[in-house]
Amino acid sequence: MTRFAHELSTCRVPASVADWARRGTPRTTLTGPRFTRTAYGWYRRSGSSTSTAQRILDAAAGLPDGALIAGWAAAYVHGVDQLDGFDDHTLAPLPVPVVLPPGRRRRPTDGVSYRQSRRAARHEEVEGVPVTTLVRAALDLALRGATLTEAVVAVDAVLGSRLLVRRRLQRVVDDLLPRRGVRQARRAIELARVGVRSPWESRLRMFAVTELGWHDLLVNRAVFDGRGHLLAIPDLLDAEAGLALEYDGATWRADRSAGHRDRRQHREDNEREERLERAGLVVVRVEKADLTTYRSRLAGRLDAARADGLLRERSRDRWTLAEPEGWFGQPA
């Protein structure tokens, strides 16, 4: 079950003033504290969750015919759980993107952004919500990403959901006529990788690509010892340099707003690092501040670590990427 479908159980669906009147609820009651206005002429009962799904339902209520939930919100409805509608830097909720049909206009609000489409967009209905196709949502995210890195973050998340393959995205973007964002979208789809576990892992990889020119990093590749025992699955691995990069951030065990590892995760991370280092790998741990505030220092740290790895005595390596018989990709 997708996160969107799971959250729906705690959501309240908005209804029009006319619908509430048919249920015996007058307009004067709707404007009171027991109800929340979600759009002009649309209300829902107050006290529901503030989940991403609720925000999407609120935005979808009262849309004109042909209008569609788009961008990150459409991807989330389709099942791309990583694109949960919060800014990874500030944790503030992002506006829900809506594509309006040709000829329709609306002013943006604090919670919803509107964009007019040049032509009627293909769409689907998922859990009762009209959304753009996942291909269209992914393409919009690649075209409209604030930077190439953020475009790659979004495409990584879509590919990581296993709901869409890169080839299909490439075919669509290759058919686009020249316009703003097309060059970025093509590059983002080229740089995107399957198997990325978090947006900050994507940003770490893109830092290595754009700042250091490293293009051969392996994403979440299992590393074994000489007896075929799993050592770890580093976030990123430079196999030539024997360099493992690990991003330290919030995990599925921790609340997203906490932004840090819980104690159990911290202990497991330390144990994994020790196993890798005993086997001869160089390990660098990176956190959010390194990728935002201390970027120049991070570049120096990574360059120094890679130089150390390239100069290592390789005969002492006790690790391999060769998968033992019967390996089915168990988690580290």
- How far is the C-alpha of 223 from the C-alpha of 272, rounded, in Å? 11
Tell me whether residue 151 is in a domain: yes
The pLDDT assigned to 264 comes to 81
How many structural domains compose the chain?
Answer: 3
Strand order in the sheet with 68-69: 112-116, 96-100, 68-69, 129-132, 123-126
Task: Examine the domain organization and report whether 186 and 81 are in the same domain.
Answer: yes
Output the CA angle 25-4-202, nearest 5 degrees: 145
Question: Can you give the pTM of this predicted structure?
Answer: 0.90
C-alpha span between 88 and 199 (Å, rounded): 8
Tens digit of pLDDT at every position of the chain (332 positions): 999 999 999 999 999 999 999 999 999 999 999 999 999 999 999 986 789 999 999 999 989 999 999 999 999 999 999 999 999 999 999 999 999 998 888 888 889 999 988 777 788 999 999 999 999 999 999 999 999 999 999 999 999 999 999 999 999 999 888 888 999 999 999 999 999 999 999 999 999 999 999 999 999 999 999 999 999 999 999 999 999 999 997 544 344 544 445 778 778 888 889 999 999 999 999 999 999 999 999 999 999 999 999 999 999 999 999 999 888 775 54
Tally of CB atoms within 10 A around 287:
18
Q: Looking at the structure, tell me whether residues 190 and 69 fall in a common domain.
A: yes
Q: In the 3-class helix/strand/coil scheme, how is 124-179 assigned residue by residue?
A: EEECCEEEECHHHHHHHHHHHCCCHHHHHHHHHHHHHCCCCCHHHHHHHHHCCCCC
pLDDT at 252: 40
Where is the domain boundary, 172, 194, 216? 194
Q: Please report, for the domain that includes residue 289, its CATH number.
A: 3.40.960.10
Asked if residue 330 is part of any domain, the answer here is no
Residues 160, 138 within the same domain: yes
Identity of residue 81: D
Considering the domain architecture, whether residues 32 and 73 belong to the same structural domain is answered as no
Q: Is residue 331 part of a domain?
A: no
The residue type at 279: A
The answer on 184 and 239 residing in a single domain is no
Q: Where are the alpha helices (DSSP H) in the chain?
A: 3-7, 17-22, 27-30, 52-60, 71-78, 134-144, 148-160, 166-174, 182-191, 199-212, 263-278, 288-292, 295-310
15 and 128 assigned to the same domain: no
Instruction: For residue 85, give Cα distances in angstroms to 70, 88, 103.
Output: 12, 9, 27
Q: The tokens 């505030």 sit on which residue?
A: 293
Range of the domain at 276: 200-316
322 occurs within a structural domain: no
